[in-house]
Amino acid sequence: MNELRLGYGSLTTGTLTLSNTYNAITVTTTHVGNSAGSNAGTVSTLYFGTGTNILKTDTLNIGVSKALGTVVASASGGRVTIGGKTGGTTAITVGSTAGTGTAATPTASSICGA
């Protein structure tokens, strides 16, 4: 799979709640809130479960363009591992206008222990 999109595009919102056992996602790019230059919807959120969570992605965008994005790790335990799609590192962008000029105030957060 090339992309995981939560709240990607004009006026969209997405929420993904992962299981409390084992989760493995492998994609080239992950978006958690990216309005792609258009007007944003409400907050898009990725909730990691209390088990093992493995996100293999070359690029992780959280709250890009005019969108709002949140990534939440559980306070009840669990493990989150983020790395490149085929190994290596992940380029992480948190709260970027991504070249959007008009009224761009992206907001992003990463919450551990929610």
In the chain, pLDDT over 90 holds for what percent of residues?
55
Residue where the block lists tokens 């007007």: 39
pLDDT at 74: 82
Q: Where are the domains of the chain?
A: 3-103
**3-state secondary structure string across the chain:** CCEEEEEECCCCCCEEECCCCEEEEEEEEEEEEECCCCCCCCCEEEECCCCEEEEEEEEEEEEECCCEEEEEECCCCCEEEEECECECCCEEEEEECCCCCCCCCCEEEEEECC
Task: Compute the average pLDDT of residues 19-45.
Answer: 91
Burial class (CB in 10 A: 0-12, 13-18, 19+), 99: exposed
- Over residues 43-90, the pLDDT tens digits come to 899 999 999 999 999 999 998 888 889 999 887 888 999 999 999 999
**What is the predicted pLDDT for the residue at 114?**
47
Does residue 112 register a pLDDT over 70?
Answer: no
Q: Is the pLDDT of residue 38 over 80?
A: yes
